[in-house]
Amino acid sequence: MSSLADRIGVLGEAGPLYRRVHDALRSAIENSLLKPSDALPPERDLAADFGVSRITIRKALDSLVAEGLLTRKQGAGTFVSGRVEKQFAKLTSFSEDMVSRGRKPRSEWLLRASGTVTPDESLTLGLSPGTPVFRFHRIRFADDQPMAVEYSTIPGFGLPSADAVVDSLYVALSDAGMRPARALQRLRAVLVHGERAKMLRVEPGAPALYIERRGFLDDGRVIEATQSWYRGDAYDFVAELSARA
Ligand code: 16G
């Protein structure tokens, strides 16, 4: 099999050597020559293949790790991290986000059930305690990589039944004429432990983004309350900011 350096071709001619290796690997990732979760060859092989020193390779990899394109796993090596960029201002679903990036969305069900509003939820959803709701707890995957653990609560009036949600919650809500028209979102950095770390396939204590979304219908009713724990190494939120008020 041809080496990675062979497949990448010649390095650029301008700038420091480590930068040229960095740029070559970066475009290999951008052009899907290297795919999410792919392991990179060991540093000494890369050095031999590119005809540069190991220090140069190490420096190039360090900067790609700092940019979030590569991830180092202790004892296992260096991998393409498969980050996904999310436009923060767009009200899209997980499935849509993944498909638009050429990834295949998939979910593992933890819970799909009907119940009634808890006192805590009644504030978030603006419903009286005891009102019927549906609960959907899922591990969300892009291809075979776990991206998020997500707990959604939908008021009973939003869906015909819990089984209405098959692959995408937003498809089921659209079918019922209940897709949120706008949403409020709050996020913060957290560390994940225990079961949640296991489900995301990260080390206990790894960083994650905790996001709460409250989705509203045009008439102002809350149609969705979702808590998500996104893997810190898998998601980039991009927001467009304007200086105009
Ligand atoms: C996203 C939303 C979540 C929504 C889900 C629906 C964020 C932070 N959260 O994960 O609120 O319930 O998409 O996805 O973007 P689905 O239609 O693929 O089930």
- Give the separation between CA 204 and CA 202, rounded to whole angstroms: 6
Could you give the domains of the chain? Answer: 4-80 (1.10.10.10), 84-238 (3.40.1410.10)
Site to probe by mutation for ligand 1, drawn from 84, 98, 173, 213 as the one with most ligand atoms within 8 Å of Cβ, is 213
- Cα–ligand 1 centroid distance for 96 (angstroms): 9
Tell me, using a 6 A CB cutoff, whether residue 20 lines ligand 1: no
Tell me the H-state helices in 74-209: 94-100, 119-125, 169-175, 194-200
pLDDT of amino acid 84: 66
| Mean pLDDT split into 10-residue runs, the chain, 245 residues | 73 82 86 85 92 93 82 86 69 88 91 94 90 97 94 97 97 96 93 96 94 94 96 78 69
- CA angle at residue 149 from 147 to 154, to 5 degrees? 125
pLDDT of amino acid 214: 96
CB 5, CB 43: distance < 8 Å:
no
Tell me, using a 6 A CB cutoff, whether residue 153 lines ligand 1: no
Site to probe by mutation for ligand 1, drawn from 95, 136, 150 as the one with most ligand atoms within 8 Å of Cβ, is 150
- Cα–ligand 1 centroid distance for 8 (angstroms): 36
Tell me, using a 6 A CB cutoff, whether residue 178 lines ligand 1: no
CA-nearest of 83, 84, 85, 93 to 213 is 93
- Give the separation between CA 17 and CA 181, rounded to whole angstroms: 50
Buried b or exposed e, range 189-220, using 16+ CB within 10 angstroms: eeebeeebbebbebeeebebbebebbbbbeee
- Cα–ligand 1 centroid distance for 37 (angstroms): 23
What predicted TM-score, i.e. pTM, was given to this entire model?
0.71
Q: Where are the beta strands (DSSP E) in the chain?
A: 70-73, 77-80, 84-87, 105-116, 132-142, 145-155, 182-192, 206-216, 222-231, 235-238
pLDDT of amino acid 88: 61
Q: Which helix (H) or strand (E) holds 181?
A: none
Site to probe by mutation for ligand 1, drawn from 166, 226, 235 as the one with most ligand atoms within 8 Å of Cβ, is 226
Tell me, using a 6 A CB cutoff, whether residue 226 lines ligand 1: yes
CA-nearest of 103, 107, 198 to 143 is 103
Residue 240, token pair as written in the block: 């467009």
Calculate the alpha carbon distances from 85 to 28, 41, 166, 183 in Å. 18, 26, 25, 19
CA-nearest of 47, 62, 37 to 4 is 47
